[in-house]
Structure 1
């Protein structure tokens, strides 16, 4: 079988040493469409959006992301990013080095698809935990072995008006720029590959939408202070095509912000982009 859960679940994927610089941070922020100098100027006031921690280990990769997971015989055309979260021990430094250790934590059997969960823990050279990431990929055409279907409770949005309701215009070339942040999956650049995967055109990276929404909520509801973000989790509910507009709504609820992102305008107005959006604060 293409996925052998007995081999895959709990498999250690090894450790990766990585470094990042202020230039990497600046490029990442620009790829998200940031313009505020607190994100784009190498000065004493430079801050790092916490979502950078998700991409930092592979930021300098120039090949498509590998899928050589133990017990999983799958290919990129089958895969869609399902969800992503990061939990921070503190603000991400503007430059540094770390080691990330990753494992397959769970695999869910959805019948006509499988969901593979990975957990990565990034630690400083001192051994101190910097952040923990958790992500899932949705593998089309797999599943059906009778495994655990998994469980998740949807995030309930308040029935009152949102505390922020704003839009961001994705540029036609945004996915091409974001590729320079370490994700060369041809799904985001090659029209033929995108069509083979079932899309009419290349789509924006899910992690680009992830960063855009985090930046928007931080700027709108946290006074632009990225150090107030303790964690950020989303479910990838749909796709964005370069040139479309993302609408971001957010509600302050106690010690966290809940929200949602959809397409605004055009033929796909209202189409889901990100759901179960939860930003926890310090």
Structure 2
């Protein structure tokens, strides 16, 4: 059944004020695989209170308005929604602890057709207590059962594809078997990521990793490869989710530096040879 365009486009989100502590900052970093080598001082700075730093993609779990499409008033068939894209622009380093406010609005509601679904693009800005904007996040939700409502918004500019051929650089990071159980303590406690029975009911052989955890692992690969673990140099990270990742797999991130300095990447679940993230772009400061 088609969604109601006006209801979704004009959905009112309350501001979300969130306090987080140093232990939350460390838990997020552990959840995306930092600290697996406890003697690597580059990783240690994100998981140990001595000279602690916040990993920038932690922005995705802060000020989150919740799974609002499950509200019956949204008119969205929430059972059929999946995370399509995630875009992040960082304006200032995240504090290692503090209070932030997330402000969310829906910017695009796109009709792909009666049999092709719809896309909702939401924008969230993250602000510190002084009102400074720390990050802008844009998330695309693919609503597989909600197309055919008629006139909608035009799609935002598409993310560019990675070049053909062999990558300039490659980074492989093993995802711990317990990664989903650890990452879910940050925010998303959907049983799909923990309960084997729920995963099988959803059509998966076992629990899958959160898409935003895979996203964080890709950021880890880029920061390791291009920034020597100085994550403050990462200023943007965008990608399209194309397949689930399973805990225990190896994420293979293939990367190209473009003439304009932009980094493009794709990520595969190495053991299966499946592309799990495509159309990836990142920018890092020199």
What TM-score does the superposition give when structure 1 sets the normalisation length? 0.89
Name the structure 1 match of 2:106: 104
Q: C-alpha distance in 1, partners of 2:7/2:67?
A: 21
Name the structure 2 match of 1:83: 85
Q: C-alpha distance in 2, partners of 1:262/1:68?
A: 30
Name the structure 1 match of 2:141: 137
List gaps (5 residues or longer) in structure 1.
none
Q: Offset at 1:161?
A: 4.0
Match of 2:74, SS? coil
Q: Offset at 1:34?
A: 0.5
Greater alpha carbon shift after TM alignment, 201-210 vs 71-80:
71-80
Q: Offset at 1:259?
A: 0.5
List gaps (5 residues or longer) in structure 2.
36-42
Name the structure 2 match of 1:180: 185
Q: C-alpha distance in 1, partners of 2:280/2:139?
A: 14
Name the structure 2 match of 1:25: 25
Alignment of 1:197-276 (within 5 A): 197-253=202-258, 254-265=260-271, 268-269=272-273, 271-276=274-279
Name the structure 1 match of 2:170: 165
Greater alpha carbon shift after TM alignment, 173-182 vs 193-202:
193-202
Cα deviations by residue, 1:136-167 (Å, 9 ceiling, x for unpaired): 11122221223446355342323464232121
Count of residues in correspondence between the two structures: 274
Q: C-alpha distance in 2, partners of 1:194/1:138?
A: 20
Greater alpha carbon shift after TM alignment, 250-259 vs 32-41:
250-259
Q: Over aligned residues, Cα RMSD in angstroms?
A: 2.2
Match of 2:207, SS? coil
CA change 1:90–1:123 in 2 (3 A) is same
Q: Offset at 1:47?
A: 2.0
